[in-house]
Structure 1
Amino acid sequence: MLLKLIVIALLLFIIFNLFRAGLVMVRQPQPGVKMSRYLGRRVLFSALVLVLIFIAQALGLIEPNPRPY
Protein backbone atom coordinates (compact mmCIF):
# COMPACT_ATOMS: atom_id res chain seq x y z
CA MET A 1 0.00 0.00 0.00
CA LEU A 2 2.84 2.37 0.83
CA LEU A 3 4.45 1.68 -2.53
CA LYS A 4 1.25 2.68 -4.33
CA LEU A 5 1.05 5.94 -2.39
CA ILE A 6 4.66 6.77 -3.22
CA VAL A 7 4.12 6.09 -6.93
CA ILE A 8 0.93 8.17 -6.98
CA ALA A 9 2.66 11.05 -5.21
CA LEU A 10 5.54 10.95 -7.69
CA LEU A 11 3.14 10.88 -10.64
CA LEU A 12 1.27 13.90 -9.27
CA PHE A 13 4.59 15.72 -8.82
CA ILE A 14 5.47 14.88 -12.45
CA ILE A 15 2.18 16.39 -13.66
CA PHE A 16 2.72 19.45 -11.43
CA ASN A 17 6.16 20.06 -12.98
CA LEU A 18 4.70 19.63 -16.47
CA PHE A 19 2.16 22.38 -15.80
CA ARG A 20 4.82 24.61 -14.25
CA ALA A 21 6.95 24.25 -17.39
CA GLY A 22 3.91 25.08 -19.50
CA LEU A 23 3.27 28.24 -17.52
CA VAL A 24 6.88 29.34 -17.88
CA MET A 25 6.69 28.67 -21.62
CA VAL A 26 3.49 30.73 -22.09
CA ARG A 27 4.49 33.72 -19.93
CA GLN A 28 7.02 36.36 -20.77
CA PRO A 29 10.61 35.29 -20.11
CA GLN A 30 11.73 36.13 -16.60
CA PRO A 31 15.35 36.08 -15.49
CA GLY A 32 16.22 33.11 -13.30
CA VAL A 33 13.19 30.99 -14.23
CA LYS A 34 14.06 28.29 -16.76
CA MET A 35 11.62 25.89 -18.34
CA SER A 36 14.34 23.23 -18.59
CA ARG A 37 14.51 23.01 -14.79
CA TYR A 38 10.89 21.84 -14.58
CA LEU A 39 11.19 19.53 -17.57
CA GLY A 40 14.38 18.05 -16.13
CA ARG A 41 12.64 17.35 -12.84
CA ARG A 42 9.82 15.69 -14.74
CA VAL A 43 12.20 13.39 -16.58
CA LEU A 44 14.11 12.60 -13.37
CA PHE A 45 10.99 11.64 -11.45
CA SER A 46 9.64 9.63 -14.39
CA ALA A 47 12.84 7.60 -14.40
CA LEU A 48 12.60 7.24 -10.62
CA VAL A 49 9.06 5.84 -10.92
CA LEU A 50 10.20 3.28 -13.49
CA VAL A 51 13.17 2.20 -11.38
CA LEU A 52 10.97 1.96 -8.30
CA ILE A 53 8.46 -0.25 -10.14
CA PHE A 54 11.24 -2.49 -11.50
CA ILE A 55 12.81 -2.89 -8.05
CA ALA A 56 9.43 -3.63 -6.45
CA GLN A 57 8.75 -6.28 -9.06
CA ALA A 58 12.19 -7.84 -8.58
CA LEU A 59 11.67 -7.98 -4.81
CA GLY A 60 8.21 -9.51 -5.20
CA LEU A 61 6.31 -6.58 -3.73
CA ILE A 62 4.17 -6.35 -6.85
CA GLU A 63 3.31 -9.02 -9.40
CA PRO A 64 2.73 -8.50 -13.11
CA ASN A 65 -0.53 -9.59 -14.70
CA PRO A 66 -0.63 -13.22 -15.81
CA ARG A 67 -0.04 -14.00 -19.47
CA PRO A 68 -3.20 -13.65 -21.57
CA TYR A 69 -2.70 -16.94 -23.43
Structure 2
Amino acid sequence: MTVSFIFKIALVFFLFFIIINLAKALFIIAKGDQPQKPLSHFLGRRVMLSAAVVLLLLLALSMGWITPNPRPY
Protein backbone atom coordinates (compact mmCIF):
# COMPACT_ATOMS: atom_id res chain seq x y z
CA MET A 1 0.00 0.00 0.00
CA THR A 2 1.35 3.34 -0.96
CA VAL A 3 1.16 6.54 1.06
CA SER A 4 -1.14 8.00 -1.58
CA PHE A 5 -3.67 5.20 -1.18
CA ILE A 6 -3.64 5.40 2.62
CA PHE A 7 -4.05 9.16 2.47
CA LYS A 8 -7.02 8.88 0.13
CA ILE A 9 -8.72 6.34 2.42
CA ALA A 10 -8.17 8.64 5.42
CA LEU A 11 -9.59 11.55 3.43
CA VAL A 12 -12.74 9.56 2.63
CA PHE A 13 -13.19 8.74 6.33
CA PHE A 14 -12.80 12.41 7.27
CA LEU A 15 -15.42 13.41 4.70
CA PHE A 16 -17.72 10.66 5.98
CA PHE A 17 -17.43 11.99 9.57
CA ILE A 18 -18.16 15.52 8.31
CA ILE A 19 -21.39 14.30 6.73
CA ILE A 20 -22.35 12.38 9.90
CA ASN A 21 -21.88 15.48 12.07
CA LEU A 22 -23.90 17.57 9.64
CA ALA A 23 -26.70 14.96 9.73
CA LYS A 24 -26.69 14.94 13.55
CA ALA A 25 -27.06 18.72 13.55
CA LEU A 26 -29.92 18.43 11.07
CA PHE A 27 -31.77 15.96 13.30
CA ILE A 28 -31.36 18.25 16.30
CA ILE A 29 -32.83 21.14 14.33
CA ALA A 30 -35.68 19.00 12.97
CA LYS A 31 -36.65 17.57 16.37
CA GLY A 32 -36.72 20.92 18.11
CA ASP A 33 -36.30 19.45 21.60
CA GLN A 34 -33.43 20.08 24.00
CA PRO A 35 -30.60 17.66 23.13
CA GLN A 36 -27.85 16.44 25.44
CA LYS A 37 -25.21 18.19 23.34
CA PRO A 38 -25.86 21.61 21.81
CA LEU A 39 -26.17 22.12 18.08
CA SER A 40 -22.97 24.16 18.02
CA HIS A 41 -21.04 21.09 19.18
CA PHE A 42 -21.77 19.18 15.98
CA LEU A 43 -21.43 22.18 13.69
CA GLY A 44 -18.15 23.16 15.32
CA ARG A 45 -16.84 19.63 14.91
CA ARG A 46 -17.81 19.75 11.23
CA VAL A 47 -15.94 23.01 10.71
CA MET A 48 -12.90 21.66 12.56
CA LEU A 49 -12.83 18.50 10.43
CA SER A 50 -13.25 20.53 7.24
CA ALA A 51 -10.28 22.70 8.19
CA ALA A 52 -8.26 19.57 8.96
CA VAL A 53 -9.11 18.12 5.54
CA VAL A 54 -7.93 21.30 3.80
CA LEU A 55 -4.69 21.32 5.80
CA LEU A 56 -4.09 17.64 5.06
CA LEU A 57 -4.65 18.24 1.36
CA LEU A 58 -2.14 21.09 1.37
CA LEU A 59 0.35 18.94 3.28
CA ALA A 60 -0.09 16.03 0.88
CA LEU A 61 0.36 18.28 -2.14
CA SER A 62 3.53 19.80 -0.72
CA MET A 63 4.98 16.41 0.25
CA GLY A 64 4.19 14.92 -3.18
CA TRP A 65 1.87 12.21 -1.86
CA ILE A 66 -0.84 13.29 -4.28
CA THR A 67 -0.62 15.20 -7.54
CA PRO A 68 -3.27 17.49 -8.97
CA ASN A 69 -4.67 16.97 -12.44
CA PRO A 70 -2.70 18.69 -15.20
CA ARG A 71 -4.06 21.87 -16.71
CA PRO A 72 -6.25 21.31 -19.77
CA TYR A 73 -4.37 23.93 -21.79
> Given the two structures, how large is their TM-score scaled by the length of structure 1?
0.93
Q: Give 5+ residue unaligned stretches, structure 1.
A: none
1:68 partnered with 2:68 = no
Work out the percentage of aligned pairs sharing the same amino acid.
Answer: 42
Equivalent residue number for residue 52 of structure 1: 56
- Tell me: higher relative CO, structure 1 or 2? Use CA pairs within 8 A at least 6 residues apart: 2
Q: Stretches of 4+ moved more than 6 A in 1?
A: none
Matches within 5 A, 1:1-69: 1-30=5-34, 32-69=36-73
In structure 1, the residue corresponding to 2:14 is in which secondary structure? helix
Contact 1:17 1:39 in 2 (8 A): yes
Q: Distance in 1 between matches of 2:18 and 2:8?
A: 15
Deviation at 1:32, TM superposition (A): 3.6
Contact 1:24 1:33 in 2 (8 A): no
In structure 1, the residue corresponding to 2:8 is in which secondary structure? helix
Q: How many residues align?
A: 69
Q: Give 5+ residue unaligned stretches, structure 2.
A: none
Alignment-mate amino acid for residue 30 of structure 1: Q
Q: Distance in 2 between matches of 1:8 and 1:52?
A: 12
Deviation at 1:29, TM superposition (A): 2.5
RMSD (Å) for aligned C-alpha atoms: 1.0
